[in-house]
Structure 1
């Protein structure tokens, strides 16, 4: 039997790296704990629309929503369409005015005089002011967006009129700057203001200054959440935008992408966040299409989970469009807001201006130790796959570590850290399972599995082995989190690359380690690491029949589901019963464990122990070990989601192990009992004998 030596010096380096990882993890935990204030934001227009639908007084309704838990109101830019509906201005195409004149329905001297003077053109747009301040703001922003010479003042006084050379159908939907009237109204009602400006085509410094000048008189403005595909000032005037942010100490809102991976694409967003020293908060909004399918209670639960799991600190809550049975639309939405508030308070959050992370960056020296430990883990695995001289293990570790650490000590090294994280995510689950394989081989050679074992002993042995294996894999999770420990990853401005690979990598590595130790198709163990290639060749030359094709098809489908469901993809749908199971676990547990851990991987580990004790065919043992590896890889990959608090990732892993161990123990007992009954029946004499 081949003997695989565990290099003690490499293990010492791994332990040193683990200590550094735990130090970074503790510092990160402190940063996460200090950021616990959530901003409950509704759109100003949503509440105004509810007031109109229900026929209630707007100020009173705003007050009720404030009492229910809304802390901020989002104010969008005005449009001619919205101003028309509110009666602040009247906008109409020149063609309509001329049609009325030609049909004799236009009798007002004011318009007749303008037509007689040749100032009304069919292709132009005309805006009549009802409110002088609003009119001035519309004229100012139209001039900026249309350019010089395309906007003219036709009349002044109590009823000013301007003309604009533009297409009416399009210009009425254009954003025309934040409304001073709405900003002042929000501030007067005691809400924080979340401004939602848009960028200008060929933006100039004057455009940027005009936006912030309109915000200058608003004391309660805390956050800017840009609308559109660009941030204000992109591409050439971003420094001026940043300067205004800093002067007013405002927070940048970063809207999470619908697929929950980084952010809704806005050019210049990450550049501004970096320049603001990460004075930024993550935003989540349930999409309108999805909210139509949710009950109020389900939406409330969504917010409680989202804010915990994804470090969301700005909740952009859209109104429900349909009333619950027996309630008005206003009552339904007030229940929604107050229910969300209560759920967040119960989870330990406070409400107010959105919290932000301290701009945390781990010490380069700590990161270097983490990278050194991860490198040692990778080399240790290689030595357990194909033993090579110890001196070459040291040389390889030194060369790889130096190449990865130098960029970190120079102040960069993001790629080096990503590579260390990728190695950690794959190597540690593989090392944990490989160590178990060697432990089981040693017990087999000692005759431990030759003695009869009761179900209690098998369950206990499986639980202890699972605990040790999980602890080893958990170390990999801390390595991964330590390597990526800084505020950019917490905000998800930077993300872990290689999620799909971390799901498949450990399985491949454990398979290679297994083939180096066992012959899958025989009880005779492989004699050396060269047996890997020999077995692979045998597998490739294995005769194929219809049964094997069906088995391969089933395995391919399982792999497609396994990989397709990982990360953030929408290609593999989630069954309804699984969604209900997730919702239940989210309600009863602090951190919902992953199904692939407690339903597949950990029970398979327990069954693998039973298979070894009962000496099931080697191929069956291998398949159970591969399934067990899925859970170990998933446990480490959990830590790749840096937006999730490290405490939650840790507890999620423990929850999955405990629940999976219980399910696995039940499965072991059931199979043990069935086998025992079948064995007894097989030994019993026939009734007629």
Structure 2
């Protein structure tokens, strides 16, 4: 048995336990149930405008399908608005009561004496109590209107009794004193179902995180996509996590209700979000249309509405077998290059992955090596494309087996080396074109007379590769992704699990490149472009927060659409070539 055959056998054998190692993740990834949660502050603002109570306005949304509400921690400013506190500047009070000792530049609060004492005990700032005009005043050297003061316990109890899914939004403040566990003072209501921190940092950040953990009572904490909150990663090691999706109000108002609904359904179906955090439109009719579309689309996607479940799982020890497949693939890559370059190149990839990704070197190696293997076998015609796809899918299994853990699936830890997965494979394919007698080949290349057509084609190919790298992800700049493509993406998204355009392009180019007798340098250039699309298959699965089934359908749809377009392209190019050659 040749070394190459032995290594291929090891890859096949390693696939079996690696596939079984994916079982825990697959069981945890079933979409739903999701909670439809509305922003409590937005409801409160609407209640004021309509002249209704908070609970009346909330009940109106409940009749439209809302089952949860986010309650913000109250601030001093809220208590002032509710008439529970009276606020005055020290200068004004000193004019009224010149003998009372009020300080200029300080802010003072008056209200129930017990409430004032509770408030003062929550802050690590200088304070004083004064009595004047028959009132007790709490003074502070800074304006404390934005300082947190706890929650409305009666409101929380009523909402819970009515069956709402309660999300509590605590506020972190630099000079806040966190109560000791067991002190009887609760920052989070016991009735809370989930916690979503308000602002850009979590409770207790940066110096009281350890003290904050027991105060959160083991409640799930919401991970807001694209909104990093300082200190969240530390809390997530101790507390269960739910993925949350929301849109900023200013962005939502630029979109139609149907467009907003599509984004929320996509988040629940393809990115594993469990809390859909909604804000109403200025017009109730628009919100009504949004909720109706959202519920219908969730039902069509077989995603139930209910109480979200924490997606936790224990990675299988069988995942370690994937290392056998990755190293066998690395060895196969080394054998595919002419001596003496194969093994040094494999060594550079191994050491580079270990140095860059450290404990995550296995998934990175799989993403760099397996897209290349099919191109090294030099099979005729579409057999080369098929080999490239099969090797890529094998690499997908090893990547997913080694990289799938709860934190990665939640999106708390990302794949290391995403850009490398689109750059390194086509470069490795290009290196494979060098003949064994590489020195004379380089001399011929150096002495080759430049032609405008050849230079143009090379620059065009390099531009396409650069464009593929710049366009990675969903956040590429609008100048890079034109409006017509965004609309096409939206249409495909409604029709199917949308494939990536890089993969469609590669699969469509394969028949044209491999079934027509091109000059070698043109064919090799097209193979490099195809390699970008094959590498994109591994790149797709490197987004661990996307369920495996969704990524698989994305890849399969890309193959199907690409081959259909490639077949049509082959017919057109053959006829054009026949016409051109006479």
TM-score after normalising by structure 2: 0.89
Match status 1:154 vs 2:154: no
Alpha-carbon distance between aligned partners in 1 of 2:320 and 2:338, rounded to the nearest angstrom: 27
Q: Where do residues 57-136 of structure 1 align in structure 2 (5 Å cutoff)?
A: 57-97=53-93, 112=96, 115-129=97-111, 132=112, 136=114
Question: Structure 1 stretches of 5 or more lacking a match?
Answer: 102-111, 259-263, 322-328, 405-412, 441-460, 517-528, 683-689
Q: In the alignment, what sits opposite 2:361? A: 419
Contact between 1:144 and 1:207, CA under 8 Å: does it hold in 2?
no
Contact between 2:188 and 2:215, CA under 8 Å: does it hold in 1?
no
CA separation of 1:310 and 1:199: change in aligned 2, threshold 3 A: same
Q: In the alignment, what sits opposite 1:177? A: 150
- Any idea what the Cα deviations from partners look like across 1:432-460, whole Å, max 9, x if unmatched? 2222xx222xxxxxxxxxxxxxxxxxxxx
Contact between 2:147 and 2:173, CA under 8 Å: does it hold in 1?
no
Q: CA deviation at 1:92?
A: 3.0
Contact between 1:139 and 1:151, CA under 8 Å: does it hold in 2?
no
Match status 1:140 vs 2:118: yes
CA separation of 1:162 and 1:379: change in aligned 2, threshold 3 A: same
Match status 1:560 vs 2:466: yes
Q: CA deviation at 1:358?
A: 2.2
Match status 1:292 vs 2:198: no
SS of 2:148's equivalent? coil
- Any idea what the Cα deviations from partners look like across 1:28-68, whole Å, max 9, x if unmatched? 211212x6221222111111211222344543321121232
Alpha-carbon distance between aligned partners in 2 of 1:605 and 1:549, rounded to the nearest angstrom: 22
Contact between 1:31 and 1:360, CA under 8 Å: does it hold in 2?
no
Alpha-carbon distance between aligned partners in 2 of 1:348 and 1:360, rounded to the nearest angstrom: 26
Q: 2:374 aligns with which of 432, 435, 455?
A: 432
SS of 1:351's equivalent? coil
Q: In the alignment, what sits opposite 1:107? A: none
Q: CA deviation at 1:230?
A: 3.5
Match status 1:272 vs 2:235: yes
- Any idea what the Cα deviations from partners look like across 1:159-197, whole Å, max 9, x if unmatched? x542322333xx223333333354345334431221111
Question: Structure 2 stretches of 5 or more lacking a match?
Answer: none
Q: CA deviation at 1:378?
A: 0.8
Q: In the alignment, what sits opposite 2:401? A: 482
Alpha-carbon distance between aligned partners in 1 of 2:363 and 2:155, rounded to the nearest angstrom: 48
Q: Where do residues 363-402 of structure 1 align in structure 2 (5 Å cutoff)?
A: 363=317, 366-387=318-339
Contact between 1:79 and 1:172, CA under 8 Å: does it hold in 2?
yes
Q: CA deviation at 1:74?
A: 1.3
Q: Where do residues 45-56 of structure 1 align in structure 2 (5 Å cutoff)?
A: 45-56=41-52
Alpha-carbon distance between aligned partners in 2 of 1:60 and 1:126, rounded to the nearest angstrom: 34
Q: In the alignment, what sits opposite 2:221? A: 252
Contact between 2:541 and 2:551, CA under 8 Å: does it hold in 1?
yes
Contact between 2:100 and 2:131, CA under 8 Å: does it hold in 1?
no
Q: In the alignment, what sits opposite 2:501? A: 595
Match status 1:312 vs 2:273: yes
SS of 1:68's equivalent? coil
Contact between 1:200 and 1:207, CA under 8 Å: does it hold in 2?
no
Alpha-carbon distance between aligned partners in 1 of 2:209 and 2:459, rounded to the nearest angstrom: 54
Q: CA deviation at 1:281?
A: 0.8
Q: 1:576 aligns with which of 483, 507, 510?
A: 483
Q: CA deviation at 1:631?
A: 1.4
SS of 2:22's equivalent? helix
SS of 2:222's equivalent? strand
CA separation of 1:619 and 1:265: change in aligned 2, threshold 3 A: same
Q: 2:509 aligns with which of 582, 585, 604?
A: 604
- Any idea what the Cα deviations from partners look like across 1:561-600, whole Å, max 9, x if unmatched? 22111246545642111110111011000x11001111x2
Q: CA deviation at 1:550?
A: 5.4
RMSD between superposed Cα atoms in Å: 3.3
- Any idea what the Cα deviations from partners look like across 1:6-37, whole Å, max 9, x if unmatched? 6122112111221122112233211212x622
Deviation larger for 54-63 or 497-506: 54-63
Contact between 2:197 and 2:203, CA under 8 Å: does it hold in 1?
yes
Q: In the alignment, what sits opposite 1:105? A: none
Match status 1:502 vs 2:421: yes
Alpha-carbon distance between aligned partners in 1 of 2:299 and 2:448, rounded to the nearest angstrom: 61
Contact between 1:13 and 1:376, CA under 8 Å: does it hold in 2?
yes
Alpha-carbon distance between aligned partners in 2 of 1:211 and 1:433, rounded to the nearest angstrom: 67
Q: Where do residues 501-650 of structure 1 align in structure 2 (5 Å cutoff)?
A: 501-516=420-435, 529-531=436-438, 533-540=439-446, 542-543=448-449, 554-567=460-473, 570=476, 573-589=480-496, 591-598=497-504, 600-611=505-516, 615-650=517-552
- Any idea what the Cα deviations from partners look like across 1:618-658, whole Å, max 9, x if unmatched? 12111221121121110111110000000111111100000
Q: CA deviation at 1:677?
A: 4.3
Contact between 2:38 and 2:279, CA under 8 Å: does it hold in 1?
yes
Deviation larger for 573-582 or 540-549: 540-549
Q: In the alignment, what sits opposite 1:199? A: 172
Alpha-carbon distance between aligned partners in 2 of 1:164 and 1:535, rounded to the nearest angstrom: 84
SS of 1:432's equivalent? helix
Contact between 1:362 and 1:486, CA under 8 Å: does it hold in 2?
no
CA separation of 1:242 and 1:660: change in aligned 2, threshold 3 A: same
Max radius of gyration: which structure? Answer: 1
TM-score after normalising by structure 1: 0.76
Alpha-carbon distance between aligned partners in 1 of 2:198 and 2:185, rounded to the nearest angstrom: 15
Deviation larger for 560-569 or 202-211: 202-211
